[in-house]
């Protein structure tokens, strides 16, 4: 499995994290990181420090991603995505793009 490491925002279902882990993808949720209630800027800085790709529905993360290319990447997805579709899409991104392809990149799922 690719070395992409995801950081899921608080609006991404825990079931997505479980599905990705079953496929061997490294996933960290905001709650597991102790980052609930932190600002968008703090989440972005944390993900950058940890070299984790942010997975989000939040438009503010897109804004932050455009301000600098010094990040591990952002995957933006609409809220209407189903669980299976989300897990398959994130797994595919991890396998195809990898950490090098995601660095400084925004991918729309």
How do residues 53-94 score in pLDDT, each as one tens digit?
A: 999 998 888 888 888 888 999 999 988 888 999 999 999 999
How do residues 19-34 score in pLDDT, each as one tens digit?
A: 999 999 999 999 999 9
Between CA 78 and CA 82 the distance in angstroms is 10
The number of angstroms, rounded, from the C-alpha of 5 to the middle of its chain's C-alpha atoms is 8
pTM: 0.92
Q: Is the pLDDT of residue 96 over 90?
A: yes
Between CA 4 and CA 65 the distance in angstroms is 17
Between CA 71 and CA 36 the distance in angstroms is 20
CATH topology of domain 5-108: Rossmann fold (3.40.50)
Query: Which of 13, 99, 109 shows the shortest CA–CA distance to 62?
Result: 109
The domain locations on the chain are 5-108
Query: Which of 20, 101, 5 shows the shortest CA–CA distance to 54?
Result: 5
């Amino acid at each position: 499995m690719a070395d992409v490491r995801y950081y899921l925002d608080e609006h991404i279902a825990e079931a997505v994290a479980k599905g990705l882990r079953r496929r061997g993808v490294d996933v960290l949720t905001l709650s597991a990181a102790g980052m609930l209630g932190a600002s968008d800027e703090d989440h972005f800085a944390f993900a950058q420090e940890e070299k984790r790709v942010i997975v989000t529905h939040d438009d503010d993360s897109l804004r932050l991603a455009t301000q600098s290319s010094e990040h591990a990447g952002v995957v933006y997805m609409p809220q209407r995505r189903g669980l299976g579709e989300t897990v398959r899409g994130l797994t595919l991104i991890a396998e195809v793009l990898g950490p090098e392809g995601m660095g400084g990149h925004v991918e729309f799922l």
